[in-house]
Structure 1
Amino acid sequence: MSTVLVLKDIKKEFHGATIFENIHLSILTSQMIAIKGKSGIGKSTLLNIIAGLERPSSGTYFLGDIKMETKNLNQLSEIRKKKIGYISQHSPMIPGLSAFENICVPLWFEKNMNIKNKAMKEITELSRVFEVDHLLHKRIEKLSGGETQRIGIIRSLIHHPEVVVADEPTAALDEETASKVLDYFKKLKSKGIAIILATHSSFVAEHCDETYLLTKNELSHVNTSEKDRKVGMNK
C-alpha cells in the first residue's frame, strides 16, 4: 500500500472564527477510515476540503503528488472529476430529470466514448448492487430519501475514483441497505481505493480500518480498545 492523501496542519476559518486547526491525516490506498465528531464540529467542511470543494485557510494538502491548496477552483474541479468520488449528505439532484439522467450528470461533457460506455456498464452493475435498477426511469422527486441517497452514491462512483469521500453516506438507509453499501465500499478498498467516511454511526465505524475523532483543535486517532469500548456503549 502507498500513501494516497496527506493533510498537514490544516486550519479552516470562517468569518474570522476558527472551525478547526492542527489537522493532520495520512491515508493509504486500500484503507477505509471513519471521521466522527459532534454535530457542527466541521466534519462536512473537512470532507469538502479533502474533496476539493473548499480550500483550507492554511496548511498543506497532498493528493498523491498534487499540492491541492495551490490549485484554483477550476483546477480542483478537474482533479475531482478524475480522482475523487464525492458523496454528499443530501445527494442534491436536478428535479424534473429521471434517476438515470441524474446519475449521468458527470458524463454530460465527456467526449470520450470509451469512458462513456464503461460508465454505462458501471451504472447497470451498481444499480443492481444497490437495488435501484427498477427506479432508473422514475423522476428523481418521486424517489424516497434512501433511494435518492443510493442514486447519489452510484453517481459518485461511475468514473472509478482513486479516493471516495462520503459525508454520512448511510444516514437515510436502513441497516440492511447500509450493510450492502459498506460491503461495496470494502470491495472498492480491495481494489486499492481509499475511502473516507464522516459518520455519527458506530455501526459504520465498525466496518472501517481506523476511526478518528474531530475536535476544534485536532483530529485524533481512536485506538482499537477505545473504539470497541465506544461502540459497545453506543449499541
Structure 2
Amino acid sequence: MSTVILKNIKKEFKGSTVFDSVNLTARSGKVIAIKGKSGVGKSTLLNIIAGLEYSSAGHYYFNNINMSEKNFNDLTSIRGESIGYISQHSPMIPKLSAFENICVPLWFKKEEKKIMNTKLKRIDKLSELFEVQSQLSKKIEMLSGGEIQRVGVIRSLINNPQLVVADEPTGALDDETALKVLSCFHTLKAEGVTIILATHSGIVAEQCDEVYHLTKDGLFLETV
C-alpha cells in the first residue's frame, strides 16, 4: 500500500518560480492524471515525486517517509525498492538488447534465485502483453520508438513497485497499445499500487480516477 502526500511544494529554477503551493494526496489504488500546458513543469513535478530531484520548498511524503529530508543515496534506494518511473523518452543503453535494458534495475539488487525467477517470468508475461517478446533479443537501437517505450514500461514494472510515476506513458504509442498500458495500470491499481501520470491525452485522462491541472499557482482538481 502506498500514499503520496505533497504539502505546499514549490520549485524554482534560475531565480524564477516554476510552480508554487502544490498540494496533493494520492492514496493506494488510485490512478491520478496531471494535465497542464507545455512548459508548466509537469515533468519536474513527476521527477520530485519519483525522487529524482528536490523541491525548493514544501514537503513530500511517500509512505510516511519525508522524502524532502532524504539524501540522494536514500532516494535512489527507495526508488529502486518501491517506485517505478516511466520517462517520456525511455532512455536506453544502445549496445544492449531490449531484454538486457529491461533487466537494468535488477543489476543493483542481490536476490535469491527464486525471486529472480519470479521476476524473469514477470518480464515474459509483460513482454507478451505488450507484444515485444519477439524483439527482446534485438539490440535496442533496432527497435521502433513505440517498441522502446513499451520496453521502458516493462522495465519500470519488474520490481513490483508500490508507486508508478509515468511521464506521458502513451505518447509514442498507437491507440491499441496505449489501451493495453492503461489496462495494465488498472490491474496494478487493483493490487493497491498508486499511479501518477502526466498526459495531454483526453482518452488517457478519462481512464483515471482523478484529473488535476497544474499551473504556476498550484495543482487544481478538475471537476465534471
Question: TM-score when scaled to structure 1?
Answer: 0.93
2:152 corresponds in structure 1 to 152
- Partner letter of residue 35 of structure 2? K
Alignment of 1:1-235 (within 5 A): 4-113=3-112, 114-223=114-223, 225=224
CA deviation map 1:207-228 (0-9, x unaligned): 00010000000100001x2xxx
Does the CA-based 8 Å contact 1:10-1:22 persist in structure 2? yes
Does the CA-based 8 Å contact 2:94-2:139 persist in structure 1? yes
Q: Give the secondary-structure state (helix, strand or coil) at the position aligned to 2:3.
A: strand
Structure with more contact order per residue of length (Cα contacts < 8 Å, sep ≥ 6) = 2
Between the two proteins, what is the percent identity of the paired residues?
60
Q: Give the secondary-structure state (helix, strand or coil) at the position aligned to 1:212.
A: strand
Displacement of 1:117 in angstroms is 1.9
Q: 5+ unaligned residues in a row in structure 1: which ranges?
A: 226-235
CA deviation map 1:159-180 (0-9, x unaligned): 0000000000000000011001
Cα distance in 1 for partners of 2:68, 2:13 equals 17
Q: Give the secondary-structure state (helix, strand or coil) at the position aligned to 1:155.
A: helix
Cα distance in 1 for partners of 2:50, 2:107 equals 20
Q: Give the secondary-structure state (helix, strand or coil) at the position aligned to 1:100.
A: helix
Cα distance in 2 for partners of 1:4, 1:180 equals 25
Does the CA-based 8 Å contact 1:3-1:26 persist in structure 2? no
Does the CA-based 8 Å contact 1:110-1:116 persist in structure 2? no
Cα distance in 1 for partners of 2:115, 2:69 equals 29
Question: TM-score when scaled to structure 2?
Answer: 0.98
- Partner letter of residue 126 of structure 2? L
Displacement of 1:118 in angstroms is 1.9
Does the CA-based 8 Å contact 1:12-1:19 persist in structure 2? yes
